[in-house]
Amino acid sequence: EAQVTQNPRYLITVTGKKLTVTCSQNMNHEYMSWYRQDPGLGLRQIYYSMNVEVTDKGDVPEGYKVSRKEKRNFPLILESPSPNQTSLYFCASSLAHSTSYEQYFGPGTRLTVT
């Protein structure tokens, strides 16, 4: 089954404790992206990757890091989480050269930073 998976689905952590949210897709997609969703602000893009070893900032990259060492994986790293990073996070992927640019989204990771 074609899918984007994220782990963990729920996470409660404390300020300053480094964490990684994993994202994996099994569709051989070149493009992957991270979004965060906050009430009243909608979904905002954090980082994206056009292919392996190619990443770039989205609209709200501060406080986040990403890496793309393998095509299927695109982890989101919070090196020193703060309470304002409490949010619902989504990973997405798509083909890079498709006219439809349909993006597949993961189920989401709900992060709480205390």
Site of interaction with other proteins (CB under 8 A) = 4, 31, 33, 35, 37, 42-45, 48, 50, 58, 88, 90, 92, 94, 96, 99-108
CB-CB contact of 44 with 64 (8 Å): no
Nearer to other proteins, 11 or 88 (CB): 88
**Direct distance between the N- and C-terminal alpha carbons of the chain, in angstroms, rounded to an integer:** 36
Q: Which residue has the tokens 């304002």?
A: 84
Residue 85: both structure tokens together = 């990073």
Nearer to other proteins, 100 or 114 (CB): 100
What is the rounded CA–CA span in Å between residue 92 and residue 106? 6
CB of 45 vs other proteins, minimal distance in Å:
5
CB of 67 vs other proteins, minimal distance in Å:
17
Nearer to other proteins, 31 or 78 (CB): 31
How many of the other CB atoms lie within 10 Å of CB of 29? Answer: 22
CB of 44 vs other proteins, minimal distance in Å:
8
Strand pairing class (104-105; 87-94): antiparallel
CB of 80 vs other proteins, minimal distance in Å:
26
Nearer to other proteins, 33 or 85 (CB): 33
